[in-house]
Structure 1
Amino acid sequence: MTMDSGAIVNVGFTERLAQVRASIEKRLDELLSESPNERDLVALAMRESTLAPGKRLRPILLILIAEGLGHEGTCALDLGCAVELIHAASLVLDDMPCMDNASLRRGRPTVHLKFGEDVAILTAVALLSRAFGVIASIRELSPAIRIQLVELAANAVGVQGLVRGQLQDLRDGQHPRSPEQIALTNNLKTGVLFGAIVDMAWLISNSEERVRSILQRFAIELGQAFQLYDDLCDSCPDSGKDQGKDLGKSTFVSTYGVEKVREQLFTHISNAERNLRQVFNDADMIAGFMAMVFKKATIPA
């Protein structure tokens, strides 16, 4: 059987991506082991919110970047899963009635609707606790590196990261905002965690300092792209979550319209890939994964 070079690359890409995704799913299942007590609603909700089908964008990205920087071993896998636990916790909180009041997440009822608001809050706290515990227990890394990794995660979650971004979105998003203000909120909601991801990959790979700054620029561009993509999907019926949650908010879509935002999205994606290729001789694996993530944006509206 003959196969052109492009097909060979595609097969290798698909197989490797499937391996990475499978390792993440397996490890998350291990980290959130089933409780023998069927009435342990928090444990059930932790599994439900985290193991529900998702893109696994953040852990896959961390693993691929770490591999590209020469890291070997299982540290990247555990770090990626810890980041996914943080992300799952943030989604549980985002969906709460006092925040976005969502009813659907990843095609399933939101945690507060299925288990109750009390369980949802405790689940988010438990997921964050588990995430930090995972990072702190990676024995292959020195205590000094583990401390830095915990600090990166804490800063991404805290008042200069996800928490601040969510508050800005809730309070300021209901009023007219400048493009700079919207971009700042978008970076806090999404880009800061991407920044922590690339820093984690850099730290465990012992790469040059210049690589870190380039990867940070990549993370900023990717964060802006992902938030624009998320805003564009707000009205998509197949997004797996509630439609129209951005109605009445000051977003780039409401300010500039869909076509202008699509153009800006592709600019951010292009900038992100350009930064990638400054770091990696072969960035096709990560670039290909990014193309898959943003595939829907290439479909004409």
Structure 2
Amino acid sequence: MTAIKNYIQEKRSMFESYMLERVETLLAPDTLKESMAYSLKAGGKRIRPMLLFAALETYGKPVEKGLDTACALEMIHTYSLIHDDLPAMDDDDLRRGKPTNHKVFGEATAILSGDALLTYAFELIASSTNHSPEQSVKLIQMLASAAGPEGMVGGQMADMEGEQKVLTLPELEYIHLHKTGRLLVFSVMAGAYIGGADERDTELLEKYARHIGLAFQIRDDILDIEGTEEEIGKPVGSDEFNEKSTYPSLLTMTGAKEKLADELNQAHDALNALSRPAPLLESFANLIAERTA
């Protein structure tokens, strides 16, 4: 586990410097750039861009080939968090232990900084010199699909409609495969696409990514009960307070942990069938299972 944490630390420093430089050089109002950078700097393990890099390296390609796409991915993830925290959505005061964007900059600026991150993400890919025009169009299509009404936004809508209702397990999985899972799947699939994975490996990597996406959310639900506010950066028990269906509420805590183990086993099975070893992706699956934040 130490090796993967060292890998993340090394790549994260390079990635964050590159991403923040992209924002700092924008010809835009300073307040808007400050708001965008505030949430981009809020931290986290950068699991999504790191997964993209790990998939790239599995196929022998340098991480630099995926930098613009990784930045675009993290910007879209960050915009979704800014908007999720707004009073009209989850009405959260803290994100990763810091005041949420709208608490610092006001609701209007928070909305606009989210809008800016979303739209600039696609400009980054379109203007990247790391891909051919055909590759850029494909990556834009993949990311738009993952983030849009059939992906993350659709999952967020289903999540809102599911509040204060007892959902079935398939309904809960739909929410998480879309709200959280689709961007995680894109992370791996983009790395595989840029890296030149063949069709069989691409299918296996999609399976791997779907399973770790569910595992990520199951672990999140468990941490909402067993974690601490210091670790997870928000109040413990917020899901229960908001009357949200979770894996522990539907399956019991024991059942949720068994489900987590099953998803991870299936993720590892997919990797074991790949045409080449993927130690970085294996380590990421284990990291997701053991994360405390």
Counterpart in 2 of 1:151?
141
Q: CA deviation at 1:245?
A: 2.2
How far apart in 2 are the matches of 1:31 and 1:293? 29
> 2:245, 2:4 → 1: CA distance?
38
The one of 197, 219, 222 equivalent to 1:229 is: 219
Larger radius of gyration between Structure 1 and Structure 2:
1
SS at match of 1:294: helix
Counterpart for residue 31 of structure 1: 22
Cα offset, 1:285, TM superposition: 2.2
- Give the counterpart letter for 1:78 in structure 2: D
2:114 counterpart letter in structure 1: A
Q: How many residues align?
A: 287
Which deviates further from its counterpart, 161-170 or 203-212?
Answer: 203-212
Task: Tell me by how many angstroms 1:58 deviates.
Answer: 0.2
Range 24-33 or range 146-155, more displaced: 24-33
Distance 1:189 1:17 in 2: 24
The Cα offsets for residues 163-213 of structure 1, whole Å up to 9 and x where unpaired, read as 110010011232122111111111011111122222211221222111111
Query: Which residues in structure 2 correspond to 1:27-106 (within 5 Å)?
Result: 27-33=18-24, 40-72=30-62, 74-106=64-96
Of residues 241, 258, 261, the one that matches 1:263 is 258
Offset from partner CA, 1:242-262 (integer Å, 9 cap, x none): 332211112222122212101
State TM-score, norm by structure 1. 0.89
Q: Could you say which residue in structure 2 is the equivalent of 1:205?
A: 195
Deviation per CA, 1:90-140: give whole Å up to 9, x if none. 111111111111111011000111111111111110011121111111113
Q: Which consecutive residues of structure 1, in runs of 5 or more, have no partner in the other structure?
A: 1-9
Aligned mate of 1:246, from 239, 247, 250: 239
Task: Confirm or deny: 8 A CA contact 2:44 2:96 kept in the other structure.
Answer: yes
Alignment identity in percent? 33
| Aligned AA (1:66) | L
For 1:257, what is the secondary structure of its paired residue? helix
Match of 2:106 in 1: 116
Q: TM-score, normalised on structure 2?
A: 0.91
Deviation at 1:36, TM superposition (A): 9.5
Unaligned runs of 5+ in 2: none
Is this contact kept in 1: 2:8–2:45, CA < 8 A? no
CA contact (8 A) 1:103 1:242 kept: no
CA distance in 1, matches of 2:161, 2:95: 22
- How large is the Cα RMSD of the aligned pairs? 2.0
Is 1:17 paired with 2:12?
no
Contact map agreement 2:52 2:70 (CA 8 A) in 1: yes
